[in-house]
Amino acid sequence: MELFERNAYELSDMLKNKEISSVELTKSVFERINSVEDKVNAYVTLNEENALKTAEQIDEKRANGESLSALAGIPIGIKDNISTKGLRTTCSSRMLENYVPPFNATVMNKLEDAGVVVTGKLNMDEFAMGSSTETSYFKPTCNPHALDRIPGGSSGGSAAAVAACEAVVSLGSDTGGSIRQPASYCGVVGLKPTYGAVSRFGLVAFASSLDQIGPIGKCVKDVAMVQSAINGRDNMDATSACREYTDLSANLKADVKGLRIGLPKEYFGEGIDNEVKTSVLNAVKELEKQGAVVKEISLPSTDYALSAYYIISSAEASSNLARFDGVRYGYRTENYDSLIDMYEKTRSEGFGDEVKRRIMLGTFVLSSGFYDAYYGKAKLLQRRISEEFNSAFKDIDVIAAPTVPTTAFKIGENIGDPLKMYATDICTVTVNIAGLPAVSVPCGNDSNKLPVGLQLIGNKFTEQALLNTAYAYEKTAGGFIMPKL
């Protein structure tokens, strides 16, 4: 087995026992990138030189007997909307094509302290707006399991890179499903943490009340390791929660005896592909075999969640993206005859169509005369959705559902129809609306050999229970399947 194929926790032990060096491991990952990246297109920017430098430094520290974290020397890819000091951060947009952040996101400071090796910046839908990575200004990313299909989005590069073993683990961000949905399509594990568990400082904002950074890995344990390295209170993000966190990876237990699992009937109805439904229900049966207790539940407002999500997220996006005006950073148009002319040309040339649609939708729902009918109603529905989850969690511990209604679709299949694209988020948006944690873990394939994901949703700050459940399933029935590339 090649080094690039291995899981982070195995590599961590091998590094610790000095069976391998971080330089060897990093070289192995870059060899893999060199051999498959032109097929997958997961990266926007590669960071080979600096990665090898960091790997050398970590090896030196280890040789000197310094105490190092479990992630020290592990190659990790970063979604291109997370600010990396000195390393181009484009959000896959023309607007930020040449933007080099003068500061690190808090998660990057934490990962640098942990000694990770950053392989590069990963492709995404422009400003994280999309579900297929096709709205990237630079290029579409391909699904490593079927190169003519999308990897999902918006963290499509992050999921595809891990699935193609072009990074051992990666960071993504999830506003309406952007970690879980591509993880499901690419057959890897993706965790969307509780809102407030991970600092958003340095994450280029899309919808600030919904955005959350989280890890993607080939297995549950890897995801637990990375999550424990990035969570925690941060003074630079006023919405980050003040609480102590335990080590998710050290406390990982494949034990679901007595765990109460709820199956929300609204997540298994119309529009959910039969093969996806069967795979997810089989995974739940497996957990039942191991001692979990399964019962049907109802979350009646799920049908309205997509509307509430697109109103709230677009409203926040229209405000957040007002900063891109061609003055302080980013693209500026060449010819203009006034300030307003410069703003309008800069933004029209710098943003792609999907970003423009979201900005305009957000502007519309917030505009005078329409605010109460759209934004006000959506915020009230948001509270109702949260209340329905709260009431469900009185009788159950974990909710099981599909991550996505179907498996990965073909590149180009839905790009011309925004509504069809938005509908792929139907199973994931409620989690962001309610600020809950959720994980997607591979649970088999459909008849086209495309991966299916089981989504597990928990109450706030129950990441350990979610990961334990995912781990219990993974150990007996699931696990990463290497794509043939």
Q: Measured from the CB atom, is 343 or 393 closer to other proteins? A: 343
Helix axes 377-392, 302-320, angle to 10 degrees: 130
CA atoms of 39 and 408, how far apart (whole Å): 17
Compute the 3-state secondary structure of the chain and give helix, strand, coil in percent, each to the nearest 5. Answer: 40, 15, 45
Picking from 221, 234, 205, the residue whose alpha carbon sits closest to that of residue 91 is 205
Half-sphere exposure of 337 (CA within 13 A, CB side): 0
* 21 is known as an active-site residue: no
335 binds other proteins (CB under 8 A): no
* 79 is known as an active-site residue: yes
Task: Give the shortest CB-463-to-other proteins separation in angstroms.
Answer: 18
Burial class (CB in 10 A: 0-12, 13-18, 19+), 88: middle
Supply angle C-alpha 204, 187, 14, rounded to 5.
85
Picking from 76, 61, 69, the residue whose alpha carbon sits closest to that of residue 21 is 61
CA atoms of 15 and 25, how far apart (whole Å): 9
Q: Measured from the CB atom, is 133 or 382 closer to other proteins? A: 382
57 binds other proteins (CB under 8 A): no
* 170 is known as an active-site residue: no
Are 146 and 163 a contacting pair, CB within 8 Å? no
245 binds other proteins (CB under 8 A): no
Task: Give the shortest CB-310-to-other proteins separation in angstroms.
Answer: 5
Q: Per-residue string for binding with other proteins, 291-320, x by CB under 8 A?
A: ----------x--x-xxx-xx------x--
232: CB partners within 8 A, 6+ apart = 110, 198, 199, 240, 245
- Contact pick of 243, 271, 327, 395 for other proteins (by CB under 8 A): 327
Q: Per-residue string for binding with other proteins, 82-111, x by CB under 8 A?
A: ----------------xxx-xx--------
CA atoms of 230 and 109, how far apart (whole Å): 9
Rule CB under 8 A: which of 370-399 touch other proteins?
374, 376-381, 383-384
Active-site position among 27, 79, 192, 218: 79
Active-site position among 93, 131, 154, 158: 154
Q: How many residues bind other proteins (CB under 8 A)?
A: 62
CA atoms of 290 and 102, how far apart (whole Å): 50
Task: Give the shortest CB-105-to-other proteins separation in angstroms.
Answer: 15
Q: Per-residue string for binding with other proteins, 410-429, x by CB under 8 A?
A: --------xx--x-------
Catalytic positions are 79, 154, 178
Which residues sit at the interface with other proteins, rule CB under 8 A?
98-100, 102-103, 235-236, 238-239, 242, 301, 304, 306-308, 310-311, 318, 322, 325-332, 336-345, 347-348, 351, 353, 356-357, 359-361, 363-365, 367, 374, 376-381, 383-384, 418-419, 422
